[in-house]
Each structure stands twice: as structure tokens, then as C-alpha cells.
Structure 1
Amino acid sequence: MSPLPVISHHGGDAGVTGSCHRLQISADRTLLVDCGLFQGEDADTSLSTLEQHRVTFPVDDLLALIVTHVHIDHIGRLPYLLAAGFAGPILCSVPSARLLPLVIEDALKIGFTRDRALIERFLAEVDERLVPLDYRQWHTLVDDDRHRVRVRLQRAGHILGSAYVEVDSLDHPSGQAQRTIFSGDLGAPHSPLLPAPESPERADVLVLESTYGDREHEDRTTRQARLKAAIDRALANGGTVIVPAFSIGRTQELLYELEELIHAADSECWRDLEIIVDSPLAARFTAVYRELKPWWDAEARSRAGEGRHPLAFDNLYTVDSHAEHQQTVDYLATHHRPAVVIAASGMCAGGRVVNYLKRMLNDPRHDVLFIGYQGAGTPGRDIQRFGPRGGWVELDGERIDIRARIDTIGGYSAHADQRDLLNFIKRMRQPPREIRLVHGDRDAKQALAAEIHAWASASNHAVWVLSGG
């Protein structure tokens, strides 16, 4: 029998999405870190949604579910987990406790039911289970004659409320202790609104994301210049800049950057530019982001203190109803009024952004601007890949020729790049003896593993790197 604790993966190990990791502390005591949906190429199209996301691992031994952050590929299987009989607490940061019900409500409407009474009943049960934890504070789950198990959340800088998880487990009879760290999704330094993640002091085992393990992002100055250039083209062409963005995280960071550009502009065209958020969910998240100002970084709090409103400025418009959405699509597709539209979903796999793309992708006046990761097998990846060479994409069963300009700005990714991920390891006083790379394509994991091995060899550090999948 393998020595405990041991880690098993139930998503996120062979791809980017579906994050779900079990830490087995003893035969009858386990922690679960995240429980997310599979998306894009990670999804098995031969199975129904119910079959694919049904929880098949044991739940009666779970001490708790720990949520690193509230993106759907990290918490979307929560309804399935509760249906399987999980009855324990749900641990997360204080901001995540505010945001999680919004995400789960939206997931229920899309994948389960629109029955308001059922949704309210489920949300009430989730609310009873939520245990909001302050950052940097140890929370003891078990302390008896067998084990002491405690958990601490640290800022991850990915989205508001995101955390990486430190788990200290001590087996009292044997005296065996282990510190296991689950990175969740780590953010990039210098991201708008959020403080950069700081490395932990030490780890024995590190479960590390690797989404951008094979590349480095543009710096903030470069990405702002490229964002401005894309909008300048729209102003000159009378076109629309369409930004597929996730409702939480990317949308709010982009609004922050746009407010800065508009504030600094000396052009009337810029000052009159409409910034349209066409996503009721994104609008709700943005409102909660404004309420969670104490968790912003120092720069953002200072800007608000000067009387500016980085998430609620005059040029910002939100589209709520479906009728308003259709009117906005029709207007922008037929008139020559420049605008920036931020619409979900981030990988163009559904949501309101698809209607903009169906109407505007074949018009060279417009610009599609990708600011986030596009998973393999998603329409976003196809547009990103084939658009610059004059290709086509299938949306809702319809072939759309791509004549719009296609741009990608890597600097707006909410994920750490290769350099940042390496620094997360290097800056530990006691680096891990074992690193498991998850949440990445095969090439990204292999590239990051090679860099880790090179660093370990140069620093004479013995580390075992697992990069399976």
C-alpha cells in the first residue's frame, strides 16, 4: 500500500479544465480541492453532460471541499458533488463566498433547471455549507489522536477571491507530516485590480498549474499599446472591437484598463467611445467586484480614492435583456459607430458573443480581440488559428467566413506564464521534493517540466516532476 497522504486527480490532470483533486490523508479522511466542469477538447462528446460530470469517486470520506476560485472549470461540478451525497463544508476565501452563488446559479440555469424554487433551494443549501476563510489564517479541520489537518489560503492573483491552498497534515501515531500545496490558477504579476501572488515558504508536494507553461506574456505597457491600437482601428473604420471574455475576472480587468485609456485620451472620439458589456452575469459580477474594493490592490484603491470609477465610468453601458442584446447586435452590424463590446463566453463556445461573431466576422471593419486562453476544440481557438489566414469557423452549425481582423493580446491573460510559474517555485525557501503539473496541454507541461529540471539541476535540488496527460 502506498504511504499516505496520496493525491489522485479526477480532472485537470490530462487537460486544462475539469479541475478536481483528492488528497487522501487516511483510509477514511480525504480533502477535495475544486470540482470543475470539463470544457472544449477536455469534454468527452461521446457522453451526455450528466454522464461526463457524474461524480464517481467516494464522497463519504471527504472532510471538506476547498475551492481555489469560482471559475466554472473549478466549481461547475458542485451540483453533481452534492447529488452524490457530499455533506461537508465548502471552504473558500471571503470574496469567493460572495461570487460563488452567482456562478452556481448561472450553471444551474444552463445545465439543470430554470425552476426558480429548485434553484433557490439548492443555493440555500450551498450557502449553509460555505465557510469563508481569511487569507493567511490557518483553519483546523481535524485535530484528534489520529490526525491534525489544517488549511490556509493565500492570494493567487488570478481573479478576485482566488487562492492557492496550503494543507498541513500530521499523522500523530507515526509523526509523519506533509505540506501539500495546490496552486489553483495563479495570476500574472502586474494584473489590474489584484495583488500579485507571493510564493509560500515551503512545500513538500506542489500541484502546479501549467496553462502557459510554454510561453511568456507581453508586459503591461505593450498590452495597453496593443489594446489602444485595436480601438484606434475601430475608430478609423467605424467598426466594433469584439472581446470574448469570461464574465468574472477578465471582464473587470479589461474595464479597468479601458477606463485608464479613456481617462488619458486627448481625443473626443475616445472620450465618446461606447464600452458595452453584453452579459447580465458579467454586470452582476462587476457590481460585486465594486463592493469588494478592500480586496483590490493598492493601485486600484488609490485610483478609486481619487474619485475615479474604474468599474463604473461614464462610457460604460450594460445590456441586460435579450431584446436589448438583439438590438445592439443589429445596430453595430449595420451602422458605422465605433464601439467595444465585451461579451461572454470567453472561448466563444456559447453565450451572446456568438451572435456578434455570426453577424460581424465576415466584415473587415470589425476586430475580434482575444485576451484569454482559447482551449483546444473551442470555436475561439478555431477563430484565433484560422482567422488570420482568411479561414472560416462553424458557429451554431453555420459556416462563417472570417474577414474581420483577429488579434490576440497575451498580456491580459489571468494566468501566470512560464517565468512566473518558475519564480513561484524558485522563491520558496524550501522548494518541493515533488511537483505535479496539471491544468495544461501536453506541450505546455513538457516545456515547463524541462525548465524545472534545468533549474533543479543548476541549483542541486532533487525534485520529482510529474507531467502526465
Structure 2
Amino acid sequence: MDYPKFQHHGGADGVTGSCHRYIASPDHAVLVDCGLFQGQDADHLDSLEQHQIHFDLSAVFALIVTHVHIDHIGRLPYLMAAGFKGPIYCSEPSAKLLPLVIEDALKIGFTRDARLINQFLDTVSQQLKPLPYRQWHTILDDDQRKIRIKLQRAGHILGSAYVEVDLLNKTTGQSHRTVFSGDLGAPYAPLLPAPKSPYKADTLIIESTYGNRTHESRKDRRLKLKAAIEHALKNDGTVIIPAFSIGRTQELLYELEDLIYRGGETWQKMEIIVDSPLAAKFTQVYRELKPFWDAEAQKRLKAGRHPLSFDNLYTVNSHEEHLQTVDYLAKTGRPAIVLAASGMAAGGRVVNYLKAMLEDERHQVLFVGYQAQGTPGRAIQQYGPSHGWVELDGERRTIRAGVTTIGGYSAHADQNDLVHFVKRMKQWPCTIRLVHGDRDARQALKEKYHALGDSRHHHFNVLLPSNQ
């Protein structure tokens, strides 16, 4: 078959800005994700120009959203401004979460005019087409071709999906199965069932964020989380956790509730502070989406526990309250755990905590997610152990606080998981396109796939595409 063909308009030779064009014919194309560039991938001199839609939209009749992280859907306003009016397919939980993410993106990057924001959100809601998991849905059926899609749980954040796309050429009777991984989650993640491999793929487009690394086990990461917090308790300090508002924050609350449940009196007096109005909104939606939680979480609910709503949990809403909380914790040294956005410390309320506490050795900065190159989070992670410095809001801050990284809390599959995703397919792909990873990660994963193929005398054509 001459089709499908693929072009990548972000997220190919970097870890952000995911946007992949699936071309079924000269006149029919589908976008899979349309996200913002962040960190080193972003053009900080002209981000407006970088995020404009410069590729031809005339054949694009639909958008498929794998999940609602900003680096996968943040360019939606630009896409619609460029004239896209087609359906937006996503999972049922994603349909509830997406408007919150887009509203926040609009406020940060476009306008705070409530009327304009509401108009945009009304338009988006009309285009959203929520799909149940594990069911085929026909998105195109004409004289020459039929395209069906199926969403499968990806285990990355609530609502995340990998996408199977089936293209049937009615003239020749040939079909082609493409799988877009989106972001795959790690097994044993709190709240979410682990992703299961598809039956087959002819072409696989798969992320490689941790293509050259492996994670700690859940048991190890829980012990590290407990140790980092207890270390700060001894010092009368605060544990600052830069966390994405959606996904990571809710997983950490789930784990912290369990530590409090099993801990002694000191733990049961511990304040857990979520300083992010957006994270609080997402947490509320997560609670409403309990039917999509995994079996372990359902068991806790039946036992009368409330993993995302417990007595020690406090939410900071207004900006004034935020500044008061930062000042209070910095001055008093009252032990607390603060979860604040953004996850890579590239902006948001966590920056004020870092400015106030990074130079005080009583406190701890705890990273639980990927820190992209070029972000303050990566600099703190890299230079913190040697008491180097980081630039925050144009000022250098010496890093005297403790810095700990727990890899096991990553919401991304690691190298072993990415290999197993292919290995467990009944029919292996012929072509694998590695996206959403640094150069070293993609190259390491390419070698692993070649080794896997060699072990069963199967040739994988592993490509490292570039953004176009």
C-alpha cells in the first residue's frame, strides 16, 4: 500500500509538542495530538510563531487526542484559529478534563477575557466526540477507503489512550493497522490499570521518553518518598514537589494518603498542601471519574478510605493565600508537603516556593517526573547535589536545600516497558517510528528493538523521524 504516510509536526526529535499527521490519501488526513513545545524544544524568542500551524490543513478532517497534557493538546487554539472545524476524538474521561486544560492555556497564552474563553470552550465542546475504550469507531467510509479507530487504555494519566487506526483500501482489499502510543504509562501506577499491548500493528509510532532508562519499583519509590519526607520532618522543613496539575498530583495524593494511613502520629498530623487551583479542579474531576480507577483504588474506596480527599489535605486557591502560605512555611519551618505546579519548575506557583526556600538547607526539593533539558527543574536536579545554582525569574539562587529524584513515579513507561509493549504483540510491526524522546533515548531504544527482532529473526525497520 502507498498509504498511510506520516508527517510529524512536533514531538518527533524532542519530548514536547507532539503532533503527528496520519495521511490516508492525498485528500484525507488525521492529526494525532497537537501540543505545545516546552523546555529546550521551545523557541523562547518567538513561541507565538513556533506554535502557529504552518502545515496544510485542507485534507485534515479530524483530530485524535491521546491525552490532555499541554504538550499534547496545547496548540488546539492555534489549530482552530487556522481553520480546523472537524471532530475531536478522545476518551470519555479526557472529554471531561480537556476543557479545564484548554481554559488554563488560554488564560496563560492568549486572553483572560471570560467571554472569549467561554466562546472558545463552547466551540470545542461541540467538536468533542468522546469514545468508549476498546470499541472500533468508523471515522471515514467512502467509495475508496474506510478508516476505523479504537482507543485503548494507556495508563499514563486518567483518560489517556493509545490509538489503533485501521485503513482499508476498498479497491485492493488491503488493510493497514497503525498504532500511535501517545504516552504510555508505567505498570503499577496509582489509580490506573497498566496498558496492555495491542494484538498487532503494521506501523507503530511509539514514545521514547525513557528509552534509555529504567524506573525503580513501586516499593522502592514509596520507601524513597517516605524517607525524603521524614528527612525534612527532622529538619523542620518543607518538602516541595513540583508536580503537573493533572496525573502526577493525583497519584502522589493517593500514595501520601496510604503513608498517612499506615504511619504514626507524626504522619497523621502532617499537612499536605496542594497549591494549584487547576490541580484542585483536576482532582475533583478525578473523584467524579472513580469508575475508571483501577482495582486497587476501588478496594480502598470499599474499605471506606478516600484516597483523593482526606483530612490532612489542604488546598490553596487565591494568589494572596498562596503568598501567605509561602511566607509562613519559609519563616516558621513548620513541616509540610507542598505540591505545586509546574512539574518542571518552568513557571507557576512552585517558583515562589523555590525562591523562598531553595537557599535554606532545612527544606527538600523532590522531583517525581521527567525534567526536560533547558528547564529550571533539570538545572536544580543536575546542580543541586553539588550546591550549584539555578536561575529563577532572572535571579541566581544557590541550591542549599536537599534535592531528591524518585524515578519510579514517572508517568511514562521505561525502556523495559517500551520493549515489552512490542514483544507482547501477537503480530509484530514491520516499521517502528520513535518519537517523543531525546536523541540518546531514541537511539538506545532503537538498538533494543533491533536486538528484540534479532532474537526472533524478525526485521524491524526502526526510524528516527524529524519534525517537518
Give 1:148's aligned amino acid.
K
Q: Partners in 2 of 1:444 and 1:304 — Cα distance?
A: 39
* Structure 1 residue 183 displacement after superposition: 0.1
Q: Partners in 1 of 2:4 and 2:339 — Cα distance?
A: 44
Q: Partners in 1 of 2:267 and 2:385 — Cα distance?
A: 27
TM-score (norm 1): 0.99
Deviations for 1:366-399, whole angstroms, at most 9, x for unmatched residues? 0000000000000000000001111000000011
Equivalent in the alignment of 1:203:
201
Matches within 5 A, 1:109-124: 109-124=107-122
Secondary structure of the 2:370 match is coil
Q: 2:367 aligns with which of 336, 350, 370?
A: 370
Q: Partners in 2 of 1:468 and 1:334 — Cα distance?
A: 51
Q: Partners in 2 of 1:164 and 1:98 — Cα distance?
A: 18
Equivalent in the alignment of 2:319:
322
Q: Partners in 2 of 1:350 and 1:455 — Cα distance?
A: 41
Matches within 5 A, 1:83-102: 83-102=81-100
Q: 1:383 aligns with which of 372, 377, 380?
A: 380
Give 1:296's aligned amino acid.
W
Deviations for 1:12-47, whole angstroms, at most 9, x for unmatched residues? 00100000000100011001000000000001234x
Q: 1:421 aligns with which of 418, 443, 447?
A: 418
Q: 2:170 aligns with which of 169, 172, 176?
A: 172
* Structure 1 residue 175 displacement after superposition: 2.2
Q: 1:351 aligns with which of 342, 348, 351?
A: 348
Secondary structure of the 2:35 match is coil
Give 1:456's aligned amino acid.
G
The gaps in structure 2 that reach 5 residues or longer are: none
Query: Does the Cα contact within 8 Å between 1:63 and 1:141 map onto a contact in 2?
Result: no
Matches within 5 A, 1:143-154: 143-154=141-152
Equivalences, count: 466
Q: Partners in 2 of 1:144 and 1:383 — Cα distance?
A: 54
Equivalent in the alignment of 1:248:
246
Equivalent in the alignment of 1:128:
126
- 1:265 maps onto 2:263 in alignment: yes
- 1:278 maps onto 2:255 in alignment: no
Q: 2:336 aligns with which of 330, 335, 339?
A: 339
Equivalent in the alignment of 1:40:
39
* Structure 1 residue 57 displacement after superposition: 1.2
Secondary structure of the 2:278 match is helix
Q: Partners in 2 of 1:112 and 1:255 — Cα distance?
A: 31
Query: Does the Cα contact within 8 Å between 2:8 and 2:465 map onto a contact in 1?
Result: no
Query: Does the Cα contact within 8 Å between 1:209 and 1:440 map onto a contact in 2?
Result: yes
- What CA RMSD, in Å, does the superposition of the two structures yield over aligned residues? 0.8
* Structure 1 residue 467 displacement after superposition: 2.1
Q: 2:230 aligns with which of 229, 232, 241?
A: 232
* Structure 1 residue 60 displacement after superposition: 2.2
Secondary structure of the 2:116 match is helix
Secondary structure of the 1:208 match is strand
Secondary structure of the 1:217 match is coil
Equivalent in the alignment of 1:312:
309
TM-score (norm 2): 0.99
Give 2:4's aligned amino acid.
P
Q: 2:74 aligns with which of 73, 76, 97?
A: 76
* Structure 1 residue 468 displacement after superposition: 4.1
Q: Partners in 1 of 2:172 and 2:58 — Cα distance?
A: 25
Give 2:400's aligned amino acid.
R
Deviations for 1:336-369, whole angstroms, at most 9, x for unmatched residues? 2100000000000000000000010000000000
Equivalent in the alignment of 2:64:
66
Secondary structure of the 1:107 match is helix
Q: Percent identity?
A: 68
* Structure 1 residue 3 displacement after superposition: 1.9
Q: 2:49 aligns with which of 40, 48, 51?
A: 51
Select between 350-359 and 56-65 the one with higher mean Cα deviation: 56-65
* Structure 1 residue 5 displacement after superposition: 1.0
Equivalent in the alignment of 1:31:
30
Q: Partners in 2 of 1:164 and 1:249 — Cα distance?
A: 16
Equivalent in the alignment of 1:289:
286
Give 2:95's aligned amino acid.
A
